[in-house]
Amino acid sequence: MEAHEEKPIIYTMENKPIVTCAGDQSLFTSLYTSLAQQLPREPMEWRRSYGRAPKMIHLEANFVQFKEELLPKDGNRALLTFPFLHIYWTDCCDTEMYKASVKDDMLRWQSTLRLHGSVDWLIVVVESEAKKKNKTNILPRTSIVDKIRNDFCNKQSDRCVVLSDPLKESSRSQDSWSSFLTKLRTLLLMSFTKNLGRFEDDMRTLREKRTEPGWSFCDYFMVQEELAFVFEMLQQFEDALVQYDELDALFTQYVLNFGAGDGANWLGSFCAPVKRWNGLLLRRPIDMEKRELIQRGEASLLDLRSYLFSRQCTLLIFLQRPWEVTQRALELLHNCVQELCLLEVSVVQGALDCWVFLSCLEVLHRIEGCCDRAQLEANCSHTVGLWTYATEKLKSLGYLCGLVAEKGPTSEDLNRTVDLLAGLGEERPETVNSLQSPYKKLNEALSSVEAFEKHYLELSHAAMEMYRAIGRMRSARLIGKSLAEFYMKKGDPERAEGFLDDSLRSYVAEGWSLQVTHTRKQMAECQKLLQQTEDYLQTSALLAGDANLTVEERKHFCQEILTFASQPPAPSDQTVALSMAAFAQLRQMQFSPPGAVVHVGAALQLELRVRCLMPVAVKVEQLAATLHFSLEQGGARGRAGSAQRRTGQGPQGQGDGVVLFPQGSPLAGAGMGASLLPALELYEMQDRSPSDSSLNSTGVVCKNMHLLLRRHDSSASLDTPTAGALPAAIAVDDGAQMLRARDITLQPGDNSILFTAPTGEPGSYTLRQLCGSVGRVQFVQSHIYPVVQYEVYSQEPQLTIEPLSDNLLAGIPQKVKFTIATGHYSVKKGDALQLSNTDSMPILHSSCCSATILSSTGERVGESALSIQSSEKVTSISLPPTPPYHTLEFQLEVLCHIPPTPFKPDIERLTNGEVRHRPKSHADRGMINIDQKVSIDCPWSIYSTLISLTFYVPFKAKHSILSAGKRKYIQVCLQNVSDTIFHLADPVLTECQPTIPVELLSLNAKTQQTVCSQQSVFCLWEMRWVERLPLCLQCAFSASFAPVSASDAHTAFKPYRYEFQLDRVSTLYSLKAEILPPSGDQHCRTGTLCGLEVSITRQAEPSETEGEEEESTEIEGLRTTKLMYEVVDNSSNWAVCGKSSGVVSMPVAASATHRVQMEVMPLFAGHLPFPNIKVFKYLPHSAVPAIQPDTDSCLENDTMSLLDKGLDDQGDTASIRSRGSVHSVGSGEQQRVLPMPRLEPFSPGQVFYLSQGRQVLVLPVTDDHVMEVNVT
C-alpha cells in the first residue's frame, strides 16, 4: 500500500477518489485487497442534482492513511485531492481497551474531522471469532458497537458498521461484506453528490462573477477543469467533456464579444503576438506545460485552444468517437484562424499555416493511432477534410517561401523560412524518435524545393485518392486543378494538361460557365506552352467567343487565331480545322422560294443567318456548305412526290422554308447542351409503289441518329472541343457540290449570307457540312441539324382538261379548262394542239379566246390570244410560245349532244312508272352520263393523248299511261337531276309512225316554266281515236330548255327529246266490287259476314293481234279466256271467308260480265276501304291445246269447276297448280312434261277498276260504352 506516501498529485487516469483510513492500520492492511477488489464489482445508481439523469456507476477508491494534512483547508478547491470519506477501523472487543485507548483515538479523529467540517465518516468494527475466544472477559460484541454508536453516532447509527469475520469464507462473512460494501458505496455517493454539488455551486458563483473586473478566465478554467477531472476520475467521460465544451463555448463567446467591441481585461493576455506555432499535441493525456501556462495566465490563444482540444480529443477517444475528433479538429482550426483575426493578434505570415499543417497531421496521426486501417479507409470522408486542409496549407507555405517558383527561393524567402521554422521550436520529445512526425515533415518540406514537391504531391495525391474513393469527384478534380496550377508554375505543362482536361470536361458537362472559362484559360496557356497549335487555336476560338471574358481578353484570343491564320503555311502544314461551334452559331436558314422544291435550272437562294461569336469582324475567304446529292427522290415523281416528302420536316423545318437551329443558353454556352442529350426525333416513313401509290413498306426513321448514337466523350470534343482535336470524320470533304460564298466579313453578332443553290440535276440535295476558311484555319461544322435539304425536279410536259364546273352537262355549251404544264419542254411558236372532232361533241370556239401563262410559282407571266382553226376532222389550237416549267391555261366551250334515247339497249319497260334499266347512272342523283373521248395530238409527243370527258344528262324522263274507263291519257314526267335551274318551253308529244291515226290532245296550260334542281314537271295528253287504238304506239316527247342564267334566252334554248313506245293500251276489262250487308240489315257490322260481289266486264273485243296474245279457247263457238281473280286485303280490315281467289272463263265478247260472290267479314267499324281485287291472265300449260283439244275441253271445264270448289277449301293458287298437275298426270298418261298453268299480269291500262277508292260504312256490333274507332 503506497497510498500513505507523500507524492505530487498526478493528473492521470489512475486517479481515484480518496478515502482516508484511521484507526488500526494493520487491520485495514489485512482487508485492503479484498476491499479494493470488491468495491467496484457492483454498480450503484447515482442520483444527481439539478434534474440530471441518474447514472449507474462503478465505484473505486484510493484508500490512504488518515492525516490531518489531507483535509482540505479553507479555499482550497482541489477536488482531486479531496478525501470524500473517512473510515476508522477497529477490531476492539474489549471494553477496557476501548475505554483506555480506542475511544480517545476516535475522539481525536472526530474532532479533527469536525474541525475541517468534514461530515463524511464511517466507523468499522471488525469482529472475529478467534479474537473473541482468546479473551475470557469479553463483553458481548454488541456492547462495544453499542458503546461506539452511543458515543459517536449521535442519531446516525448507520455510521457504524460491523464487519464479521471478513477473512473467513462463510456466508455470515459474505453477508457482512455485502452490507458493508453497500453502506460504503452509498456513503461515497452521498459524499460525491454533496461535495460535487457544493463545488459546482461555488463554481457557478465564480462564473457569475465573470463580469467583475478582477475575474480571470484562466482561474475559472482551472476550477471547472477540476470538475472535469473528477468526472474523468469517475469515468464519466461524457460529463467531463461537457465541462470542457462549456469552457470552450464560454471562451468563444468572449472572443465574439471582443469582436463586437466588448473586450474583457483578461483577454489581453490572449492577444499577445503568436510566438510559437508548434501545433496541437495530442499524444499526452494532459499537456502539463500548456496547463501550467494557463494556470499562470501566460497562455496564448493557440496554447489555450490547443490544450482545450487535446483534452476534448482525449475524452472523445475514450468515448470511442474518433470521427468527431476529426470534425471538431477542422472546426477548431478554422475557428482559431478566425479568432486570431478577430482578436487582431499579430502573427508572422505563414505561422498559422504552419500551425494548421502541423495540427492537421497531428490529429490524423492521433486517429491513425486508435483505429485500424480498415476503419480508416471506411471513414475517409471524415479525414479527407484534414488532408485537404493540410495540402492547402502546405501549398500556401510553398508559395510563400518561394518553393514553387521556377527559380527557387530568394534570400527573402529563405529568411522567412528561417523565421517560420524558429517558431516551431524544438521537436517534442514524444515524436523525436518518429521518422514521419508532422514536425519533421514540415521541417523537411520547407528546407528544399525537391522535398517540398515530394511532400506536396504526396499529400495532394493522398487527398485526391480519398476523394475519389468516396465519390467526391468534384473535390478530387479541384485538387487536381490545384496540382495543375502547381505544375504550370513549375514549368511542367505536360503534367498539368491531364488535370486541366479532366476538370474542364466536368465543368463543361455540368454547365458551370465561370469555371469553364477560367479553366479553359489555363488550358490555353498550357497548350500554348506545349505547342499544340490546333488545340490551342480551338481553345482560343472558344475563349474568343466567351462572354465571361472581357472584350480585351477575347480580342487577344481572337487575334491569336487570326495571326496564325495569316501566316504563310509551311510546306508540311495542312490547314487547321476547328469546330465551327466556337466561331459562329447557325441561327436559321431560309430558302427562296420557300418551298425549296424547284425544277431543273431554276434559281434557288438560301439565306444563312449565323451569329458570329468573335469579338471583332472576321474576314472569311470562303464559306461553303457541302451538299449531299441523291437521286432517290428523283425529279420524275415531280412536284407531288416532293411536296409529300417535305411535310415530314420536323419541328424546326417549317412550311415557309425556314429552318431554325436550336440554341443553347448563351450563358452556359454549349455546356448545357452537352449535358442534356437531344430528344429522339422520329418520323414515319412510307414507301409507296410509284405506279399505283400502294403502300410497299412503312417504318420509323430517326433523324438525329448521328447526334444520339455517338460516343459520349467524343461528343464533348465535337460540340465544345476541349482539347480541340477534331475527329477525322469531319475532315473537309471536297469535290462534292457546294453552296459557296466568297470574301465575307462576319461582324460580331448576327450576319446574313446569301447562297445560290445549284439546281443542275434533278434530285435531292442535303446540306451536310459547313466550312468557313480564314487563311490556314478552317471552321467546320460537321453536321447541320435539323436536316436542311432542297429538291430539284424534272417534269414531263402534261396536258390536262378539266371542267370548270363540278359536272359537265350535256345538251348545253360547257366550258373546259386546258392546262399545259410545260415541264422541261419549251413551247415554240407554231406549236399547236390538234383535237380530233367528233359529231357528238363539237368544239365551240370564239375569237376572243386567250391563254394565260403562269410561272412555276403560280405567278402570272403573260397572256396571249389563241388562234383556233377548225377543219372537218380536226380543230387546231396554236399555242403561244411558253418557256419550260411554266403553265399555260385557256378555256374552251364544248357541247355534248343528248342522244334522244340515251343508252337504252332494251325497250324501257315501265311498270308503275319506274325505270327498270338505268345504265351508268350518276351514283347519287340518278344522272345519266355520257363519256366523250377527245384525242389530242401534242407537239411534244408523237403519240395522241386521249382525254375522257364525262357529261351528265340534266333531265330524266318517265312516262305512264292513265285510264278512265275507256279513255286514255299519256303522262310524261321530266325531272331536273342537275344542279342548274332551267327554263323549260314547248313540251310537245307526237306520234312517230302513225299507222292508225290517234289524236294527242295537250292538256298542258303553260308553254314555258322554270324547273329547279330535283324538281319534276308533269305533262299530260289525252288520246283520242276514231275506231280503235293501235296495238303499239310510238311517241316522241320534245321540249326546249335553257339555263336560267343564260344571257341570251332565245339562242340558248336547246332541244330535249324523249322517245318511248306504248303497247296494249286499250282497256280490256273493268272490275266492279260491291259489298252487301247481311240480309235484313242496312249496314255492315263488325264480325258479321257480308257479301262481296265482284263483277268483271269485258270492255272491248280484242283486236286481231291482241287476240293472239290472249290465251282463248273456243267451246261450241264461244271464245272464252280464263282469268284469275284474287281478293287481297293488305290493310287487315277484312277477313276473307271461304275462297279468296278463283278462275273464271270470260267469253271474248264486249260487255260479257262475270260475277263472283264471296264472303268477307269486316274486322273494324268505320268507313272501310274496299279490299283489293286483282286480275291475272290464267294461262293453262301450253301443251294442253295441242293434245286432244276437243275431248279434254269438257273434262277441263269440269276440272275447273272442281277446282273452283276445291278452292273453297284451299284458297291458294299453289294448290291449284298442284291439283292441276295431279289431274294432268291422271288424264294424260303419255305426257312426260308436267303441265303447269301460268299467271300473267295485264299491262297497265288493260284493266280498269271501277271501285277504286270506294269505302263502305261498317257499324260496330253493339253499342258499347267504349267506342272503337279505327281511322285508316
Least distance (Å) between residue 603 CB and other proteins: 46
Q: Which is nearer to other proteins, 471 or 749 (CB)?
A: 471
> Contact region for other proteins (CB under 8 A) — 381-389, 493-501, 837-845, 1076-1084?
381-389
Judged by CB under 8 A, which of 313, 347, 478, 1071 binds other proteins?
Answer: 478
763-774/789-793 β-pairing: antiparallel
For the segment 66-95, give every residue that binds other proteins (CB under 8 A): none
Judged by CB under 8 A, which of 114, 334, 711, 817 binds other proteins?
Answer: 334
Q: How far apart are CA 870 and CA 1137, in angstroms?
A: 78
The yes or no reply on residue 507 touching other proteins (CB under 8 A) is: yes
Q: Which is nearer to other proteins, 481 or 1085 (CB)?
A: 481
CA distances from 374 to 370, 378, 379, 380 (A): 12, 6, 9, 10
Q: What is the DSSP string of 1176-1215?
A: EEEE--THHHHS-HHHHHHHHHHHHHHHHHHHHHH--HHH
The yes or no reply on residue 515 touching other proteins (CB under 8 A) is: yes
For the segment 385-424, give every residue that binds other proteins (CB under 8 A): 385, 389
Task: Say which DSSP state 604 is in.
Answer: E
Residue 1123, beta-bridge partner list: 1144, 1177
Cβ pair 1126, 1141 in contact under 8 A: yes
Rounded to the nearest 5 percent, the helix, strand and coil shares of the chain are: 35, 30, 35
> Contact region for other proteins (CB under 8 A) — 130-138, 671-679, 705-713, 1017-1025?
671-679
> Contact region for other proteins (CB under 8 A) — 503-511, 643-651, 925-933, 1075-1083?
503-511
Q: Which is nearer to other proteins, 335 or 1197 (CB)?
A: 335
Q: Which is nearer to other proteins, 668 or 981 (CB)?
A: 668
Q: How far apart are CA 709 and CA 706, in angstroms?
A: 6
The yes or no reply on residue 350 touching other proteins (CB under 8 A) is: no
The yes or no reply on residue 475 touching other proteins (CB under 8 A) is: yes
Instruction: Please compute Rg for the chain using Cα positions.
Output: 65
3-state secondary structure of 997: coil
Q: Which is nearer to other proteins, 34 or 257 (CB)?
A: 257
**Where is 819: in which H helix or E strand?**
strand 814-821
The yes or no reply on residue 510 touching other proteins (CB under 8 A) is: yes
Burial class (CB in 10 A: 0-12, 13-18, 19+), 396: middle
214 Cβ partners below 8 Å, 6+ apart? Answer: none
959 Cβ partners below 8 Å, 6+ apart? Answer: 910, 970, 971, 972, 973, 1035, 1037, 1058, 1060, 1062
> Contact region for other proteins (CB under 8 A) — 129-137, 333-341, 935-943, 1055-1063?
333-341
Q: Convert 573-584 into a string of H (helix), E (strand) and C (coil).
A: CCCEEEEHHHHE
> Contact region for other proteins (CB under 8 A) — 326-334, 807-815, 1021-1029, 1131-1139?
326-334
| Residue type, position 88, single letter | Y
Judged by CB under 8 A, which of 104, 331, 656, 1114 binds other proteins?
Answer: 331
Starting at the edge strand that comes first in sequence, how are the strands of the sheet with 1153-1162 ordered?
Answer: 1134-1137, 1153-1162, 1090-1098, 1069-1076, 1247-1249
Least distance (Å) between residue 530 CB and other proteins: 24
Q: Which is nearer to other proteins, 327 or 838 (CB)?
A: 327
| Residue type, position 423, single letter | G
> Contact region for other proteins (CB under 8 A) — 214-222, 338-346, 791-799, 1200-1208?
338-346
CA distances from 1269 to 295, 1084, 1136 (A): 132, 15, 21
Q: How far apart are CA 404 and CA 389, in angstroms?
A: 18
How many Cβ atoms are within 10 Å of 624's Cβ, its own excluded? 20
Q: Which is nearer to other proteins, 122 or 352 (CB)?
A: 352
Least distance (Å) between residue 325 CB and other proteins: 16
Using alpha carbons, select from 282, 287, 317 the residue that is nearest to residue 225.
287
| Residue type, position 290, single letter | K
Q: Which is nearer to other proteins, 474 or 916 (CB)?
A: 474
Least distance (Å) between residue 471 CB and other proteins: 7
Least distance (Å) between residue 385 CB and other proteins: 6
Q: Which is nearer to other proteins, 466 or 821 (CB)?
A: 466
Judged by CB under 8 A, which of 247, 330, 351, 401 binds other proteins?
Answer: 330
3-state secondary structure of 904: coil
Least distance (Å) between residue 505 CB and other proteins: 14
Least distance (Å) between residue 518 CB and other proteins: 6
For the segment 433-472, give every residue that binds other proteins (CB under 8 A): 467, 470-472
Judged by CB under 8 A, which of 379, 381, 644, 1193 binds other proteins?
Answer: 381
The yes or no reply on residue 539 touching other proteins (CB under 8 A) is: no
Q: How far apart are CA 187 and CA 160, in angstroms?
A: 12
Q: Which is nearer to other proteins, 279 or 638 (CB)?
A: 279
Length of the chain: 1272
The yes or no reply on residue 675 touching other proteins (CB under 8 A) is: yes
The yes or no reply on residue 473 touching other proteins (CB under 8 A) is: yes
For the segment 222-261, give every residue that binds other proteins (CB under 8 A): 252, 256, 259
Q: Which is nearer to other proteins, 479 or 659 (CB)?
A: 479
Using alpha carbons, select from 527, 430, 995, 973 the residue that is nearest to residue 724.
527
Least distance (Å) between residue 521 CB and other proteins: 11
Q: Is the dihedral of CA 1080, 1083, 1089, 1091 positive or negative?
A: positive
Q: How far apart are CA 999 and CA 985, in angstroms?
A: 22
Q: Which is nearer to other proteins, 313 or 329 (CB)?
A: 329
* Site track for other proteins across 130-149, x = CB under 8 A: --------------------
Q: Which is nearer to other proteins, 475 or 1246 (CB)?
A: 475
Applying CB under 8 A, the site for other proteins has a residue count of: 34
Q: Which is nearer to other proteins, 522 or 1199 (CB)?
A: 522
Q: How far apart are CA 1271 and CA 1165, in angstroms?
A: 9
Grid cell locating 67 = 492525516
Least distance (Å) between residue 569 CB and other proteins: 38
Judged by CB under 8 A, which of 338, 567, 630, 1255 binds other proteins?
Answer: 338
Q: Which is nearer to other proteins, 331 or 1108 (CB)?
A: 331
Cβ pair 1109, 1173 in contact under 8 A: no
Least distance (Å) between residue 480 CB and other proteins: 12
The yes or no reply on residue 518 touching other proteins (CB under 8 A) is: yes
Least distance (Å) between residue 581 CB and other proteins: 18
**Cis amide bond preceding 593, omega within 30:** yes
Q: Which is nearer to other proteins, 402 or 671 (CB)?
A: 671
CA distances from 925 to 803, 953, 977, 1017, 1196 (A): 19, 11, 6, 17, 53
Q: Which is nearer to other proteins, 519 or 1246 (CB)?
A: 519
Least distance (Å) between residue 668 CB and other proteins: 6
Q: Which is nearer to other proteins, 343 or 1094 (CB)?
A: 343
Applying CB under 8 A, the residues found at the interface with other proteins are 252, 256, 259, 330-331, 333-334, 337-338, 341-342, 381, 385, 389, 467, 470-475, 478, 507, 510-512, 514-515, 518, 668, 671-672, 675-676
